[in-house]
Amino acid sequence: MLGLGNPELGVLMLALFVVFIMFGFPIAFTLMALGVFFGYSALGDLVWPLLVQRTYSVMTNDVLISIPLFVFMGYIIERANILDRLFRSLQLAAGPMPGALAIATLATCAIFATATGIIGACVTLMGLLALPAMLRAGYDVKLSTGVICAGGCLGILIPPSVMLILYGATAGVSVVKLYAGALLPGIMLATLYMIYTMVMALLNPSLAPKLPDEERNVPLTKIVWGLATSFLPLAALIFAALGSIVAGLATPSEAAAMGALGALVLAAAYRSLTFTKLKESVYLTARTTAMVCWLFVGSFLFSAVFAYLGGHEPIEQFVKYMDLSPLGFLILAQIIIFILGWPLEWTEIIIIFMPIFLPLLQAFNIDPLFFGLLVALNIQTSFLSPPVAMAPFYLKGVAPAHVSINQIFQGVLPYVFLVILSMVLLYTFPQIGLFLPNYLYP
Amino acid sequence: MERFLFMVDELSTWTGKAFAWCILILTLTTSYEVFSRYMFGMPTSWAFDASYILYGTLFMMAGPYALSRNGHVRGDFLYRAWPPRRQAFMDLVLYILFFFPGMIALAYAGYDFAKMSWVMQEHSAASPDGPPVYHFKTIIPIVGVLMVLQGIVEVIRCVICLRTGAWPQRLHDVEELEKILIDEAEQRKQAEMRKAEVTGIARGDI
């Protein structure tokens, strides 16, 4: 076709995809169509069985089974009325610290987002709950909005997160190792956020005034009771799900199912498990799962045809021609992902663009597990940086009218730098990410 | 015409919602497998096959439902800012150029794929007493046809939008929490503005 060799056709297919993605048509169908067209031109009638085989391999993929289960768990917890309690009890516990409300917000976001894995819900709920509380206490608008956005996004990094399942399925890396690997970097990033916030509150107390005395000197029993009824059950649920995966007691999908069951029990214990809420969670789970898994149907076909055409070769040659060192390549790849994060969402970056990077990793002798951890950190920025930055826009949607989107972006900016700092730390000390997986699965 | 539109919407929605309950069954059966293994020391022989069949059925059957809710992810950083007519025009062209060829191919090739499985009376090879999988494979052509039907409805929506300049209403359904909360906040703000306006008029400010 067009007098082009197969590898050039592959590159053309990729280029067309990048162009068509801009037109806003559902990506799954764009991928499928380009796969069918280019597959037909190269394979003829063989493309039909290929299309069905790839579809069927998504339907029987045992890694992806955990996606609907974790999503379901998230929707149940999201509707379990747990967030109010969690925030109030963490707020009491954080009372004497500098920037207490901001710290409590970060901690609430980190644990709630980890349990639900849903960014929009965490950011909007906290926007209605924590933002008015912080503004009333005289906190700086930028600081208050920054912590909500940054904290709300931690859920896709800290395991058990759906993003790492997608990466595992795309890159053929064990999800168990990814979970073990992402745990410490995730906690490190959350800690960096908290340290930064506390330091800012200490340096400039007008950003985060001290709470009134009656909120700082709460009897210990009240704090402990508050934590025991909100923080503890949720933490136990996450710990049990994650622990059983990492310890090898259950596969990720089994742990996800137990997590979903645990979430149902938890919701029942909080007396918020009504049939309506269950029904809503079930339907939303179906839609979200369909969205993610159809993307896989499209991308499995697309990448099969792309690989058959040998579209990697010109890209590899081009990268080799640039004569990069492994470090140079790593930085280039991360910069590309960072920039892709401006217009695109993480699902698209992981499912569509990862397969293009992966063959190059081998050429540069980079561990796909380690690369995945860097990507997981990097993707955090795609939620925070304009113009698509979902977190600031969700927050703007529920914030009081006087909070402007620019203030939110300014508030988020320091946290974007902290993400980059954590990537540098992870690169310099790879053991932060590799220690646990190497120790547990030598 | 409108009746056809909503009839297909209802069909996709009903199918999607009916099979959405697979998630609950999947949660319970997989949990049962874990209990059975650790509490009774008896792993089940069917749990693995059951899990991917439930998961595969769930997401395939929810495909047309998600389409009827405009739920398939778009790279919409430009699209979002376009006026409805331009969105509709682009969608219309790409539905015809991209969507139908892909889905018709899926239905057509899926039919052969499923037929072969029925002829062979194929059973799962993943476990010793593997259950039959020909029903499961038949889902592919069924979903292909449902997707084509829902696609026709989406094309009609594009045409209506091109004519009237506004996207026609969709069936009411459950929404994501952030959308509900943001919509509520928007309504609150508008209500406050109206109230301020009314008091302003009453006080003679405006």
**pLDDT digits 0-9 by tens, A346-373:** 888 888 888 888 888 888 888 999 999 9
Exposed, middle or buried by CB within 10 Å (0-12, 13-18, 19+), for A342?
middle
B127, with CB counted inside 10 A (0-12, 13-18, 19+), is middle
Tell me the shortest Cα–Cα distance from B149 to chain A, in angstroms.
Answer: 15
Q: What tens digit of pLDDT does each residue of A118-163 get?
A: 777 889 889 999 999 999 988 999 999 999 999 999 988 888 888 9
Q: How is B3-39 classified by DSSP, letter by letter? A: HHHHHHHHHHHHHHHHHHTHHHHHHHHHHHHHHHHHT
CA atoms within 13 A on the CB side of B15: 25
What are the tens digits of pLDDT across the range A198-249?
Answer: 999 999 888 888 877 777 777 888 888 888 888 999 999 999 889 889 888 8
Asked if the model's pLDDT at residue A4 lies above 70, the reply is no
Is B71 in CB contact (< 8 Å) with chain A? yes
Give chain B's mean pLDDT: 88
Q: Is the Cβ–Cβ distance between A160 and A252 less than 8 Å?
A: yes
pLDDT at B204: 63
Question: In the Cβ-directed half-sphere of A295, how many Cα atoms lie within 13 Å?
Answer: 28
User: Does the beta-carbon distance from A33 to B99 stay under 8 Å?
Assistant: yes
In a mutational test of the B interface, the residue from A27, A129, A264, A283 whose CB has the highest number of chain B CBs within 10 Å is A283
> Do the beta carbons of residue B137 and residue B113 sit within 8 Å?
yes
Gap between the Cα atoms of A379 and A383, Å rounded: 7
Q: CB burial class (10 A; 0-12, 13-18, 19+) of residue B80?
A: exposed
Question: Cβ contact (<8 Å) for A24 and B80?
Answer: yes
Copy the structure tokens of residue A327: 């470090």
Residue B63, pLDDT above cutoff 90: yes
Chain A, window 98-117: residues with a beta carbon less than 8 angstroms from a chain B beta carbon: none
B167 residue type, one letter: W
Contact B34 A250 (CB under 8 A): yes
Query: Can you spell out the DSSP letters for A309-368?
Result: HTTHHHHHHHHHHTT--HHHHHHHHHHHHHHHTTTS-HHHIIIIIHHHHHHHHHHTT--H
Question: What gap in Å lies between CA A290 and CA A283, rounded to an integer?
Answer: 11
A68–chain B nearest CA distance, Å: 7
First to last CA, chain B: 47
DSSP alpha helix (H) spans, A60-158 = 66-78, 83-94, 100-116, 119-136, 141-152
What's the pLDDT score for residue A31? 93
Q: What tokens appear for A389 in the block?
A: 């930055």
> Contact at 8 Å (CB) between A69 and A259?
yes
Per-residue tokens: B123:
């059973």
Closest CB to A124 among B75, B87, B181: B181
| Residue ranges of A 327-346 with Cβ closer than 8 A to chain B | 343-345
pLDDT at A310 over 80: yes
Task: Give the closest-approach CA distance of A102 to chain B in angstroms.
Answer: 21
Side chain identity at residue A7, one-letter code: P
B84-92 mean pLDDT: 94
CA A266 to chain centre: 24
Is the CB of B58 less than 8 angstroms away from the CB of A21? no
Specify whether the CB–CB gap between A97 and A103 falls below 8 A.
yes
Q: Report the distance separating Cα A329 and Cα A361, nearest Å.
A: 9
Q: Which of residues 26-85 of A touch B (CB under 8 A)?
A: 26-30, 32-37, 47-49, 51-53, 55-56, 58-62, 64-65, 68-69, 72, 78-79
- A330 in Cβ contact with A430 (< 8 Å): no
Q: Do A150 and A192 meet the contact criterion of CB atoms below 8 Å apart?
A: no
**Is A154:A114 a contact under the CB 8 Å cutoff?**
yes
- Among positive and negative, which fits the CA dihedral A117, A123, A125, A126? positive
Closest CA to A367 of A330, A340, A325: A330
Q: Residue A362 contacts by C-beta under 8 Å, 6 or more apart in sequence?
A: none
Q: Does the beta carbon of B144 lie under 8 angstroms from any beta carbon of chain A?
A: no
**B182 closest CB neighbour out of A28, A52, A397:** A397
In this prediction, residue A1 has a pLDDT band, given cuts at 50, 70 and 90, of very low
pLDDT > 70? residue A408 = yes
Q: What residues does B123 pair with on adjacent strands?
A: B132
User: Looking at the DSSP assignment, which residues form a beta bridge with residue B132?
Assistant: B123
**Do A117 and A352 meet the contact criterion of CB atoms below 8 Å apart?**
no
The 10s digit of each residue's pLDDT in A56-103 is: 999 999 889 999 999 999 999 988 888 888 998 898 888 788 888 999
Tell me: pLDDT of A339 over 90: no
User: Measured between beta carbons, which residues in chain A are less than 8 angstroms from residue B55?
Assistant: 59, 64-65, 68
Nearest one of A262, A260, A205, A272 to A236, comparing CA atoms: A262
Sort out which chain A residues have CB atoms less than 8 A from B103's CB and list them.
29, 32
**Mean pLDDT on A97-122:** 87
Least confident stretch, A128-137, A276-285, A311-320, A433-442: A311-320
Nearest to A80 by CA among A237, A255, A288, A239: A237
- Amino acid identity of residue A107, one-letter, is A
Contact A381, A189 (CB under 8 A): no
Tokens of B40: 């009774």
Closest CA to A14 of A35, A28, A43: A35
- The 10s digit of each residue's pLDDT in A8-61 is 888 899 889 988 888 889 999 999 999 999 999 988 899 999 999 999 999 999
Show Cβ contacts of residue A203 under 8 Å, excluding neighbours closer than 6 positions: none
Answer whether A28's CB lies under 8 Å from B60's CB: no
Per cent of chain B over pLDDT 90 is 52
What residues are paired with B76 via a beta bridge? none
CB contacts of B38 in chain A (<8 Å) are 249
* pLDDT, tens digit, 9 for 90 and up, residues A376-397: 999 888 888 877 778 888 898 8
- At B205 the pLDDT is 59
Distance (Å, whole) CA A383 – CA A400 = 21
Inter-chain residue contact B137 with A125, CB threshold 8 Å: no
Please, are residues A162 and A376 in contact by the beta-carbon 8 Å criterion?
no
Q: How far apart are alpha carbons A175 and A372 in whole angstroms?
A: 11
Q: What is the pLDDT of residues B94-110, one digit of tens each?
A: 999 999 999 999 999 99
**pLDDT band for position A109 (50/70/90)?**
very high
C-alpha to C-alpha distance for A210 and A99, rounded to whole angstroms: 7
Size of interface A-B (CB pairs under 8 A): 238
| Cβ pair B182:A22 closer than 8 A | no
Mean pLDDT along residues B193-202:
75
Contact assessment for residue A189 and residue A380, using Cβ atoms and an 8 Å cutoff: yes
Closest CA to B15 of B108, B145, B134, B201: B145
Distance (Å) of CA B18 to CA A287, A292, B168? 12, 19, 25
Query: Mean pLDDT for chain A?
Result: 89
- B92 to chain A, any CB pair closer than 8 A? The answer is no
